[in-house]
Amino acid sequence: MNTAGNPEKARRWLEEARSRTPHHSDGSILGSMTTAPHPIGVEAFKEFIHVNGNDPVIYPVVEEASRILIEGVGALLGAEHGIHTSGGTESNILALYIGRRISRGRENTVVAPSSVHRSIDKACLLMGCRLVKIPVDPLKPVDPGVLEEYVRKHKPFAVVVTAGTTEAGVVDPVKEAGEIAEEHGVFLHVDAAYGGLLIPFLHRRGYLAEDLRMYPGVSSISVDMHKNGCAPIPSSILFLSRRDYIEEACFEMEYMPRGRSCGLLGTRPGGAVIAAAAVFMTIGAKGYEENAVRMMENALYLHENLSHLPMITSYKPILPLNVFKSTIYTYEELFKALLDRKLYVYKSPSLQALRVVVMPHVEKAHLDRLINALKSIHGVQ
């Protein structure tokens, strides 16, 4: 067996792999909550690719970037403290871990609406806690009265609500949940991985009644920078209502220059934090607001067009996330038919439907391609 390195073979493989890997710019990625990273982010990530984000002594720039991000994004949410993480899953696990650490004399239980993201199930599996789900209509936010009943009954250490659900873009009542959490002394985590960089803008521009803030009683909010923040993967922020909560997310690590490490990962891409900060600075709050409005208008355009198709049921988008189904095909069949046409949508199993997420890279022309494919699949002219 020849064990010598083969750079040419590696190059050929890379080239071939690139040619068969879809890119956001080709308009086929319509269902995933990812987008093409902003070019300044690509540049920054590449330049700082060697930086270990777990070592703020050799690389103070990582802390600097983290501060820029937390101050910048935090200003939109009235949040001051936070920690940069690798994504929505790490933020959710960390939030519940912190909640567990600070809770005293409560059941090892988490209460959340059934629309909550799967990473909350994952967090509870890892932490050995019981997850009590409140059955909700996937198209509706949780009823605060019902939420309070569950909190009274199960005495959880934490409640999780979602500001922009994975399967329908529903925004739970964050302010009211905060009041309940405060009254019952419960840790309230708001999963705004998807909605964090949409809701404040769409509220201000009149598309949405709900706003997103670190309201009284809210303990943490997660916002993914690699979703609507246009930062390269992996990048998220976990905002915390108190600075000392960050301490709960830090672990003894004697050999590290600071003797400790914060967050769930060890060695991690420092370039991702620096890239996210550079992207945030470049786009600016005004740019994100313009993006949010454009994305929402595109989602409404898709809804409008799908509503005119005889064999399609389309739900009015709450955030720029469209859910639709066919009256003649199952959602699995329709998923497959679109996949065969190289159109990548996602599933919304709770609604037995398909999901399109209108991310920053999605243009009207991409949506027209989807509309035409749906027409052709259903034999509509």
Applying CB under 6 A, the residues found at the interface with ligand 0PR are: 32-33, 87-89, 92, 117-119, 162, 166, 191, 193-194, 224, 346
Q: Least distance from C-beta 96 to ligand 0PR, angstroms?
A: 12
Query: Is the alpha carbon torsion for 145, 352, 320, 84 positive or negative?
Result: positive
Smallest distance, ligand 0PR to C-beta of residue 229, A: 11
Measure the CA–CA gap between 377 and 295, rounded to whole angstroms.
26
What is residue 207's three-state secondary structure?
Answer: coil
* Alpha-helical runs (H) found in 189-320: 199-204, 243-248, 270-307
Q: Quick one: 181 or 359, whose CB is closer to ligand 0PR?
A: 359
Closer CB to ligand 0PR, residue 27 or residue 234?
Answer: 234
Amino acid at 95: A
CB 304 → ligand 0PR: shortest distance, Å? 24
Give me the least distance between CB of 117 and ligand 0PR, in Å please: 4
CB-based contacts of 35: which residues, under 8 Å, 6+ apart? 24, 227, 228, 230, 359, 360, 361
Nearer to ligand 0PR, 118 or 243 (CB): 118
State which residue, 88 or 156, has the beta carbon closest to ligand 0PR. Answer: 88
Comparing CB distances to ligand 0PR, the nearer of 92 and 305 is 92
- Find out whether 337 and 345 touch, Cβ atoms under 8 Å: no
Task: Please write down the long-range contacts of 292-296, taking CB distance under 8 Å and 24 or more positions apart.
Answer: 292/197, 292/198, 292/201, 292/202, 292/205, 292/228, 292/320, 293/201, 293/202, 293/205, 293/207, 295/198, 295/228, 295/320, 295/358, 295/359, 295/360, 295/362, 296/198, 296/202, 296/207, 296/320, 296/358
How far apart are CB 107 and ligand 0PR at their closest, in Å? 24
The closest alpha carbon to 134, from 144, 122, 126, 146, belongs to 146
Nearer Cβ to ligand 0PR (88/178): 88
For ligand 0PR, the closer of residues 62 and 193 by Cβ is 193
CB 284 to ligand 0PR: min, Å: 23
Residue with Cβ nearer ligand 0PR (59 or 136): 136
Per-residue tokens: 149 = 């009943």
Q: Minimal distance in Å, beta carbon 148 to ligand 0PR?
A: 23
The residue whose Cβ lies closest to ligand 0PR is 88
Nearest approach in angstroms of CB 194 to ligand 0PR is 5
User: Smallest distance from the beta carbon of 145 to ligand 0PR, in angstroms?
Assistant: 23
Q: Give the count of beta carbons closer than 10 Å to the beta carbon of residue 255.
A: 6
Spatial CB neighbours of 85, under 8 Å, sequence gap ≥ 6: 91, 94, 222, 236, 237, 238, 263, 264, 265
Sheet order of strands, 312-315 included: 312-315, 321-326, 353-357, 346-348
Nearer to ligand 0PR, 59 or 142 (CB): 142
